[in-house]
Amino acid sequence: MENDSNKTENETKQEFTVGNFCPEDAEGIVRLFQSVYGENYPIRLFYDPAAIVAANQDGRYFSIVARSSSGEVIGVSHLFPSAPNPSLYETGVGLVLKEYRKLGVNGRVLRFLYETFVPQKPHIEEVFGEAVCNHIFQQKVFPVHQFVETALEVALMPAEAYSKEKSAPGRVATLDAFRCYHSKPHRVYLPIAYEGPLRWIYAQLDDDRQIDLSSRDVPDASNSKGNLKVFEFAQVARMAVQEIGTDFNVFFSDLEARALAQNAVVLQAWVNLATPWVGKAVDVLRDRGYFFGGALPRWFDGDGLLMQKLLCPPDFDSIHLFSDFAKNLLSVIKKDWQQTNSSVEKAV
């Protein structure tokens, strides 16, 4: 029998396990975040062991943990609700201790998450991830686990979040991809301005939609409904519009004004593609300087459309993408950004 004392350090490092969160992992997760991000990670919960335990107990986060043979937390990834649809979960907030990288830790964590954990949670019908675009490593995982790329968020994350490892000279874009676990066929209405790009995106999905054009007028006396969430550290505002009424322009003006008052420089609008008159809202947003971002499957249970507006330089040249599809999507987005901003400047 081989003596453990004869094992190399690398062999010992490869003896790690992956599994569900245990309360005793919380302090190790904090140390992991401090090692990788210093004190700069914007979600402060991950610096508080008690808060991590509480979040896992009440379902705000599900932590999937990789542990060394000695029990040290060497990697983690998370699943959490972040969209208007409670059956759609986001996967992210994943990191691996520097000395354990290139040993397959992240791959095993994600395989456990996508192939073991999620199938045991029947209330989770769809999962999406936002892969950062200051490198391509996270993007390579998408096809391995049957994720389909559908949207790109320009300049989402601040460079400060990556200052410890000096991996981003400016704000970082993210590429969004979705995996369907429980199909729900439904109807979507495509705004005429984006019929071509959206049909191209929808052709990639592996679950069915009935696709129509959005050509109807907004019903009289209907009211808009939605909400605003501002991420102060990232200076990002997300405005989710579930219902589009005749008051949309005034309603959205109020949301945007509140976002700007909180110093947001990245403004995102999510509009509901299940609404037959969604095209009218998209026309208003384009007039306000918002440009195409992509489709968001099951975002409101029905699908959403991402529109975005930047009060900071987009720095398209710093966006690193792996797939040809993502590169073509960036070209579509960049062209629409140029057209939208040109139209707004002429109007002014």
Nearest CA-CA partner of 188 in 107, 271, 120: 271
pLDDT tens-digit series, residues 33-76: 999 989 888 889 999 999 999 999 999 999 999 999 999 999 99
Fold of 186-313+339-347: Aminopeptidase (3.40.630)
CATH topology agreement for domains 10-180 and 186-313+339-347:
yes
Distances (CA, A) of 241 to 153, 201, 301, 330: 17, 21, 13, 24
The span from the CA of 297 to the CA of 328, in Å, is 19
The span from the CA of 63 to the CA of 83, in Å, is 18
Contact 135/101 with Cβ under 8 angstroms?
A: no
Q: Is 102 exposed, middle or buried (0-12, 13-18, 19+ CB in 10 A)?
A: exposed
> Residues 12-33, buried b or exposed e (16+ Cβ, 10 A)?
ebeebebeebeeebbebbbebb
Other beta carbons less than 10 A from residue 58's beta carbon: 8
Residue linked to tokens 């690193």: 320
The span from the CA of 77 to the CA of 65, in Å, is 7
**pLDDT at residue 254 in the model:** 98
**pLDDT at residue 5 in the model:** 54
Other beta carbons less than 10 A from residue 293's beta carbon: 25
**pLDDT at residue 2 in the model:** 45
Provide the pairing of β-strand 126-132 with 88-96: parallel
Distances (CA, A) of 94 to 19, 46, 216: 14, 11, 43
What is the dihedral sign for C-alpha 261, 264, 266, 270?
Answer: negative
3-class DSSP string for 269-324: EEEECCCCCHHHHHHHHHHCCCEEEEEEEEEECEEEEEEEEECCCCCHHHCCCCCH
Angle at 311 between CA 306 and CA 316, to 5 degrees: 70
**pLDDT at residue 161 in the model:** 60
pLDDT tens-digit series, residues 315-329: 899 999 999 999 999
Q: Is 290 exposed, middle or buried (0-12, 13-18, 19+ CB in 10 A)?
A: buried
Tokens of 45: 């919960």
Domain 10-180 in CATH 3.30.70.1140? no
Tokens of 330: 């960036």
Domain boundaries, the chain: 10-180, 186-313+339-347
- Weakly modelled stretches of the chain, pLDDT under 50: 1-2
Residue 20, classed as helix, strand or coil, is strand
